[in-house]
Chain A
């Protein structure tokens, strides 16, 4: 009898939880400026093999010379990544060097994705299990890091890059010089 009583009120309790979750989503709309604990620290050691045949893979050495670069964490199965593709192309057009970590992806899918949505990347590392992604302090896709010329993480941008984010990113790249 007791169990039935609890079961009867369970749906209302679950709905209350759902309501709280959704309400916080409205009250706190997409805060895109949360910094990971890795910001300000050098990139951890990692080696990622090349994702596609014609581009090199990724390691922290590549970020220690030639000025600041962007490191974009993306996946072909992520819809916001498609949304930010034109903005990455715009950044490339402005002369920004962009490298990428492709998370849980396959070479075939990445090739198709780049052919369809544009290819802003100089290097793409294959992070098949998302391990490197976690190590550099990223928990989702898409995310973009500004890495200064010494291989240190200067800024983290969480979520898709939108047109109005570009000035901030350009400023961060300028500061990181």
Chain B
């Protein structure tokens, strides 16, 4: 019954989406504001129904109802509860339902909370959101029904990929999806603005919090995903330029650019067409990313089933939505009045440079990810790997970091080069000193890592410079947000550069009792012992690590054997200290009584994810700051209106 109720909720939600679109079209076409007024409740109801469908899917998973095909294929009654819940989205159908659910919730949230947008633009925006939703409902209901039954039901299910059985990963896809799909709001805003020819500062101020919200989730999702890959895959790397990772990076790059250009539109009424374009591109990248991952046309470590029929379906949706939005852009943007212009040295110009660099990086990642497909179309099979991306994206990222020194210190409209350099003296001096120092102390660190560390040190100073000589209590919260986010970039960059410059790696085969030196630590293999979990058994290496004369501590990397489906995974043991991480994994026996150990000492590697967290926190502070300012100014406006009314009455009596 539960499964049928879920399916019914989905069908009704799809019908509501159709109604929502019809209301928007007739409301705008025939100037019927009474029809447009009905669109808000419909959108909210649609959001509630999709959320209900998702909850019902989670319910059949928690009850291990094996008569539902999806549960039988992806779950197992022995699984811990948390993975039964996560199993609901750890597969194709469930993750598409999650996608649609977030789309519905996002539309409902816009209907519920968006008060600043021009009413007709809001109607057009909700119409666009409904149009997107309808395509994905069709996809779900026609080719990927998550509630399909199986008869007779099997005795037990096949289980979930053990790599995915990890508390971090359980909540990684929902976070990322909130980011991906949250960008649909920006897309719909852009379509709404194009339809109503309403592009200006008010529109930008209305769109900004939604973009910020989606971007925070994306940032968190990417950071968490990177850390997951780092400790779960046992390769000691934190970014692999895998198509699935690129699929999450591309919308992030576009959203980061959008976040900065929307500020120009909101503050100075410039970059109108560009901001609209970025809003379209950001969500397009989300959809292309989902398509690349889901259709299985690119080889990836994230194994998903290849299914040409589903691939074709999503491709058709992409063609309609992205092609449609770009065509609308071409058709309408000429009729949007040009915005304000600015000088070559100004905050606006800095933000344009930021946008160009981010766009170039986005282009490189997109081309690099798709190049194997292009080559395949020409009859060649190849893969584009880490060396390509590191060499091409890396330099642009460093230029962007250098630009980040000056950007926040530039004045709007026009500024003087000399004045900018005066403001930058301290950061540039710090960067130069740091680069020289590293070059002397660690000449073998490599050019890019040395530059990275130096630039990061200077950036740390430059990013807090906007607070210099300001009254800290009167500085708005969103300025703190910017400072924290930019500081996060410096922290993260320092971690990346330190990891690639100073990591020590040892791959050894040792007997019990033998000690290995890695970085400042001495690691001894004390023995091996069995370990058992809820649905796995393991061999655990009993290691003892000691730093200099410090107290020795145990570490237990495991080789885990999962029963359903039968798989072996490496469970790294990681010791985090203030200046880095000791990372250990247990390998195979070599048949001569020795055991393989892989040990890393990674100085300051944790800064990578700490920085990612800071960037997201900066976004959150900005979002809160903007919302706070708005409620305050709204309250002030109300108060002024009341005072005026009082004054009017007094004058009357």
Contact = CB atoms under 8 A, between A and B. Distances in A.
A155 to B, nearest CB: 15
A26 B377 contact: no
B327 A12 contact: yes
Contact of A11 (B291, B326, B370, B372): B326
A160 B300 CA distance: 12
B290 to A, nearest CB: 13
B242 A79 contact: yes
A21 B377 contact: yes
Given A25-B297, A79-B300, A140-B380, A115 B596 contact: yes
B8 interface: no
B587 A116 contact: yes
A162 B238 CA distance: 27
A79 B382 contact: no
Contacts of A158: 380-381
Interface string B349-374: 00000000000000000000010111
Contact of B240 (A28, A34, A79): A79
Interface stretch (B120-128, B175-183, B304-312, B400-408): B304-312
Contacts of A45: none
A80 B240 CA distance: 13
B370 A22 contact: yes
Given A8-B333, A9-B330, A140 B297 contact: no
Interface string A108-147: 0001100110000000000000000000000111010000
Interface in A9-32: 9, 11-12, 15-16, 18-19, 21-26, 28-32
A4 B308 CA distance: 38
B277 A19 contact: no
Interface residues of B, number: 48
B297 A11 contact: no
Given A19-B318, A29-B308, A159 B326 contact: no
B297 A22 contact: yes
Nearest to B370: A21
B381 A12 contact: no
Contacts of B326: 11-12, 15
Interface string B316-358: 0011001100110110011000000000000000000000000
Contacts, number: 108
Given A15-B326, A160-B299, A77 B387 contact: yes
Contacts of B381: 30, 32, 34, 139-140, 143, 158-159
B385 A22 contact: no
Contacts of B334: 4-5, 8
B301 interface: yes
B379 A34 contact: yes
Contacts of B242: 79
A15 B284 CA distance: 10
B184 interface: no
Interface residues of A, number: 41
List 4 A-B pairs, minimum CB-CB distance, nearest first: A140-B382, A12-B326, A77-B385, A24-B377
Interface secondary structure of B, over-half rule = helix
B643 to A, nearest CB: 48
B596 A19 contact: no
Contacts of A170: none
A26 B385 contact: no
B15 to A, nearest CB: 30
Contacts of A28: 376-377
A23 B318 CA distance: 11
B386 interface: yes
Contacts of A141: 382-383
B148 interface: no
B277 A22 contact: no
A29 B385 contact: no
Nearest to A24: B377
Given A30-B376, A31-B379, A19 B299 contact: no
Interface string B269-301: 000010001001100100010010001010111
B195 interface: no
Nearest to B284: A15
A24 B330 CA distance: 26
Contacts of B587: 115-116
Interface in B566-590: 587
B426 interface: no
22 contacts: A4-B334, A9-B330, A11-B329, A12-B323, A12-B329, A15-B284, A16-B323, A19-B319, A21-B370, A21-B373, A22-B297, A24-B373, A25-B373, A31-B376, A77-B386, A78-B383, A79-B383, A79-B385, A80-B383, A82-B301, A115-B596, A141-B382
A11 B377 contact: no
Nearest to B366: A18
Q: Could you say which of A8, A22, A79, A104 has the most chain B C-beta atoms within 10 Å of its C-beta?
A: A22
B315 interface: yes
A140 to B, nearest CB: 3
Nearest to A139: B380
Given A18-B370, A21-B373, A30-B381, A115 B299 contact: no
